[in-house]
Chains A and B, each alone.
Chain A
Amino acid sequence: MRIGDSPRLLLLLAMADDELILGHRHSEWTGWVPHLEEDLAFSSIAQDEMAHARLLYGLALDSLGDEWDEDRLALGRPPSEYRNAVLCERPNRDWGYSLARQFLYDTADDVRTQALLGSSWKELTEILTLVRMEEAYHLDHARTWFRRLAEGPVAAREHLAAGLESTLGEALAIFEPLPGEVALLAAGDLPVANSELLAAWLAGVGEELEAVSLDYVLERHSKVGDMVPTASGEMEDEGPTLSVPGVERVRGRWVHRGGFAGAGGRAGKHSEDFAALWGDLTGLYRAHPGVTW
């Protein structure tokens, strides 16, 4: 049974699935972070993200039938019904990559949740007010590490820069337009269009990258543009890839040019990395539906 495609539900799933899937990736660091205290810190962030996903799934249940619960929303959907951005599902690679991703994701999430505080959907704004209290800490963590790695030693800076280069295109796709976005905007559920959120985020991240002389990452993206590869799924007629806007510096400010084409995570199209993650994440639930222990 399909979960449905009401615009409100897809807005919630985009955010909740981002948090769940990135939280899962973060949690894979548990026991492997290069530094014991940081291992605890990063694991805690992973748990926060899953708690946030749970709150949003709880709100989604209001519009779903009795056969749905939080576990089923988190673990009982086929891969094509997950609406997370592809960025969140990529394997962790190294610490530089994971921190670059955390920095880009949490700054984007900050822009998104800040804007949604102005939503006409009161239950959502209440949840996001709570969530943002914890996300403030994630941002502090991301920025503390971002500055530290950016300031060197050289190897640390190189790992961070390589991580930023590989994640930037997919980070832009956090702002891929949602299916039903026009209706969400008209209803005031989404007070600001994703294209405007992207502009706000890019301007801020551009300044932060310039402050540590890593804005060449943006310059490189502007030269090559970017295609976000996704696995071929059952919706092949929509094209196998999502292409994201380019970026350029105009009057001292980083802006995007062009729009999105094709379909990515927000339309349920995922990368080849998602299948293995989904298998790990949902295996127990699928093998023993409804199990308690």
Chain B
Amino acid sequence: MEVWEVLGKRAPGDEWAVVGAVKAPDASMALLLARETHFRHKEGVAYAVRRRGDAEDAMVTGAWPPETLGGVTDRSYRRQEAYAGVGAKLKRVAADLAARGLRIDRPRPPDLREGGGAP
């Protein structure tokens, strides 16, 4: 499958800049996938693709307007925040348990990699 460079503009006045690449069989599929892989989170206001090796001006621009590029609905539910501050969370839980005379420590699993040191 051919490689297509993905180009984008962060703001309306910007020059086109290469932001990545996708594999796709043709320009229409490349545009569909470029939009999804590189402009899903409001990374820019315009996007385009160019077959790797083609002339600078052989760009095919995407049709989606800046207002809808990157989506319009609230996606905060997708953010995985449970691992944020996990060290502090662990300390807090460990302190709670220690106050009750419990420990959440357990032996580390053995290091089975070649040359791995003894636990």
Contact = CB atoms under 8 A, between A and B. Distances in A.
Interface string B6-27: 0000000000000000111000
Interface in A22-49: 35-38, 40-41, 44, 47-48
B36 A37 contact: yes
A40 B37 CA distance: 7
Contact of B72 (A41, A130, A148): A130
Name the prevailing secondary structure of the A interface residues.
Answer: helix
Interface stretch (A1-9, A106-114, A131-139, A174-182): A131-139
A41 B73 contact: no
A256 interface: no
Contact of B36 (A40, A52, A148): A40
A44 B36 contact: yes
Interface in B72-91: 72-75, 77-78, 82
Contact of B71 (A35, A36, A38, A134): A134
B29 A148 contact: yes
Interface string B103-118: 0000000000000000
A38 B30 CA distance: 10
Nearest to A131: B73
A55 B76 CA distance: 12
B42 interface: no
A77 interface: no
A247 B98 CA distance: 70
B32 A55 contact: no
Given A37-B22, A51-B75, A51-B77, A133 B68 contact: yes
A144 interface: yes
Contacts of B23: 35-37
A83 interface: no
B33 interface: yes
A133 B72 contact: yes
A136 B68 contact: yes
Contacts of B74: 51, 54-55
Contacts of B32: 41, 140-141, 144
B3 to A, nearest CB: 11
B52 interface: no
Contact of A41 (B37, B64, B77, B82): B37
Contacts of B75: 47, 51
24 contacts: A37-B23, A37-B33, A37-B36, A37-B37, A38-B33, A41-B33, A41-B36, A44-B40, A47-B75, A51-B74, A51-B75, A51-B77, A54-B74, A55-B74, A130-B72, A131-B73, A133-B67, A133-B68, A134-B71, A134-B72, A137-B68, A140-B32, A144-B28, A293-B82
Top 8 closest pairs, chain A to chain B, by CB: A41-B36, A37-B33, A51-B73, A133-B68, A133-B72, A37-B22, A293-B82, A40-B37
Interface of B: 22-24, 28-29, 32-33, 35-37, 40, 64, 67-68, 71-75, 77-78, 82
Interface of A: 35-38, 40-41, 44, 47-48, 50-52, 54-55, 130-131, 133-134, 136-137, 140-141, 144, 148, 293
